[in-house]
């Protein structure tokens, strides 16, 4: 029976239950299946790493001030890779602390003193303070040519 081999696409005389024209074509098919499974695993791994997964949604329990703080800061922290599914609860706590500190403007200094240290500790954990940030502000770096540096210096 003359059939077309699915790998080399040649018309060959094969038995009715024979799928491939040679052992080489069969081996090529098996290798292609292994590499396809590996590619699928690599895609799954890439989707689970930070930044490429679905964005983390704001928790429902946040009040208006904490929610606005979340909406303002969360995209930057997520882009930097410091906010993920595991740290979302801690970040929500940071937003709650922010709302407590904003609502206690001048009313009670004890509340402000009590929560400000905890707020700063959470900020350090998410790299939101200058010392913990060490200059990484998430801004695109400017790449200057050597000629531009010289021209700017002599002008």
Once rounded to an integer, what is the mean pLDDT over residues 95-100? 91
Question: 3-state DSSP helix/strand/coil percent for the chain, to nearest 5?
Answer: 55, 5, 40
Query: For residue 3, what are the β-bridge partners?
Result: 12
Return the minimum-mean-pLDDT range out of 14-28, 42-56, 80-94, 116-130. 42-56
Using pLDDT thresholds of 50, 70 and 90, give the confidence band for residue 63.
very high
Q: Is the pLDDT of residue 70 over 90?
A: yes
| Residue closest to 100 by CA, chosen among 90, 87, 110 | 110
Three-class DSSP category at 98: helix
Q: Is the pLDDT of residue 83 over 50?
A: yes
Using pLDDT thresholds of 50, 70 and 90, give the confidence band for residue 64.
very high
């Amino acid at each position: 029976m003359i059939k077309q081999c699915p790998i080399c696409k040649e018309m060959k005389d094969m038995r009715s239950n024979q799928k491939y024209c040679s052992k080489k074509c069969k081996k090529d098919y098996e290798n292609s299946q292994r590499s396809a499974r590996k590619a699928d695993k690599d895609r799954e791994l890439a989707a689970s790493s930070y930044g490429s997964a679905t964005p983390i949604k704001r928790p429902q329990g946040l009040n208006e001030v904490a929610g606005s703080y979340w909406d303002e800061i969360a995209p930057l922290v997520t882009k930097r890779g410091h906010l993920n599914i595991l740290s979302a609860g801690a970040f929500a706590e940071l937003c709650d602390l922010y709302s407590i500190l904003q609502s206690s403007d001048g009313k009670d200094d004890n509340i402000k003193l009590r929560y400000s240290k905890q707020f700063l500790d959470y900020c350090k954990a998410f790299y939101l303070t200058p010392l913990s940030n060490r200059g990484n502000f998430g801004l695109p770096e400017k790449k200057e040519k050597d000629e531009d540096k010289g021209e700017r210096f002599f002008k």
